Amino acid sequence: ICSITLPAHIRMTTTALHRLIIHRPKTSGLKPNPLVNRLRRWKSDYTNKKHNQTSPLSTATATTASNVGGCGLGNVRDQMLPTTMHNTTELYQHCSKPHTVSIIGAPMTYGQPLIGTDCGPAMLREAGLRSKLTALGWRVEDLNDLNFEQITDVNGALSKNSKNNKAKNSIRVGKSAEMIANVVCERASMGRFPLVLGGDHSVAIGSLAGILKARPRTGVLWIDAHADLNTPDISGSGNMHGMPVGLLMEEMCSTEDLSKIPGLEWLADEQNLQPKLRPDSIAYVALRDVDLEERVAIRELGIAAFTMMDIDRYGIGAVMDMALSHLLKDDPTRPIHLSYDIDAIDPGLAPATGTAVRGGLTFREAHYVAEAAAQSGLLASADLVELNPQLADPMGAMETTELGLQIITSLMGKSII
């Protein structure tokens, strides 16, 4: 079996690597990174080995696999076609026509301790994001990556702040989130679809703040293995990628509390008050690793939370129906923001992420979540976060990037018929 399927699968991977690395767009903003050289060496090594193979069996199986399309993941045809079912709900009702998506690269890595999440936006672009979105009928505005390095260290404040165990690197994370919030708010106010590419999940502090300011009625679908409902006072790690919901949630973090967190003072500005997220305006899907204090908050605040056990029991279709019904029961036309952490998916399918937990969404469940949100007609903004290509071998990095890209296309209207 291996002799039949492996050559086709590897051939796909080297082709993807060639497109990703050799033909890297100059506008992507990707900085020189050891990962690029590692992938390039891997591709070269594998190509040399393949050219040196002389086994008749290997040649025959490779030829057969090439003729029939192979059995590897990369040989499965993946057409980029929007729906042709014109009698269904109008999609993206809160976006002005012609529909325009604003791609916002948020290469944040300071919300958690593992370097590499800053590569996520460039990896997704280089894998073909823009061309796939245009194939789905979107007009594409690529704002490139935000420059978080412009945040200056005044009197050593950044160095001192990195040692703050309650909210690590809060100045870098907070000021970067403010940049994201301003861009997201501006684009949403123009009737565009803000698509934020992380970066770790702390970027959602900015995307949520910006969306809530532009569209205060927004309901939030949080697709994640983790609740991210911590605050500096209850977090066990102090890593801010576990705090975006908690920092913006009513009854979790007061304006006074926010004013005391270096870098997040802008969230407490009384002259430009930031709308908060109500507990009934969020629904979690795919939870399976929730801290004790977060569990208490979810129960006490009555937050809708659907765990992997619920998905096992009811099925992903029923769970998404319940999550959307919860968000829309009092406001049936409200806009929906979807924040998708790649670690919601089982690490066997998406290994290149930092806080992987076994027992996640399957391939089809992961897609169905995105498809159901899109087919509601109310999806108006989204994040895709926590892609970290340095935490897997090159093939795992490619598979995770490709899956992340496919999830985005499902969010943006890709349809089977």
Contact in structure between 28 and 92 (CB atoms under 8 Å)? no
Q: Which of 99, 126, 178, 241 is catalytic?
A: 241
Question: CA dist 37 to 28, 199, 392, Å?
Answer: 17, 21, 15
| 343 is an active site residue | yes
Question: CA dist 206 to 121, 187, 213, 267, 285, Å?
Answer: 16, 13, 11, 10, 21
Q: Which of 228, 294, 310, 402 is catalytic?
A: 228
Count CA atoms within 13 Å of residue 286 on its CB side: 29
- Which residues, 6+ apart, have CB-to-CB distance to 360 below 8 Å? 225, 286, 288, 308, 343, 344, 345, 346, 347, 349, 350
Backbone φ and ψ of 222, nearest 5°: -110, 105
Both structure tokens of 236: 């066990």
| 386 is an active site residue | yes
| 341 is an active site residue | yes
Q: Which of 94, 99, 226, 326 is catalytic?
A: 226
Both structure tokens of 407: 């999830």
Q: Which of 341, 365, 383, 402 is catalytic?
A: 341
Q: Which of 201, 326, 337, 367 is catalytic?
A: 201
The three-class DSSP label of residue 293 is helix
| 201 is an active site residue | yes
Residue type present at position 297: A
- Torsion angle of the four alpha carbons 81, 82, 88, 89, in this order, in degrees rounded to the nearest 10: 160
Q: What is the DSSP letter of 329?
A: S
Both structure tokens of 31: 């900085």
Q: Which of 126, 294, 386, 402 is catalytic?
A: 386
| 224 is an active site residue | yes
The three-class DSSP label of residue 331 is coil
Give the whole-angstrom CA distance, residue 43 versus residue 51: 12
Contact in structure between 318 and 307 (CB atoms under 8 Å)? no
| 228 is an active site residue | yes
Q: Which of 118, 289, 343, 402 is catalytic?
A: 343
Q: Which of 118, 142, 200, 224 is catalytic?
A: 224
Residue type present at position 348: G
Place of tokens 């992380």: 198
Single out the residue of 318, 306, 327 nearest to residue 380, CA to CA: 327
- 403-407-413 Cα angle (round to 5): 145
Active site amino acids: 201, 224, 226, 228, 241, 341, 343, 386
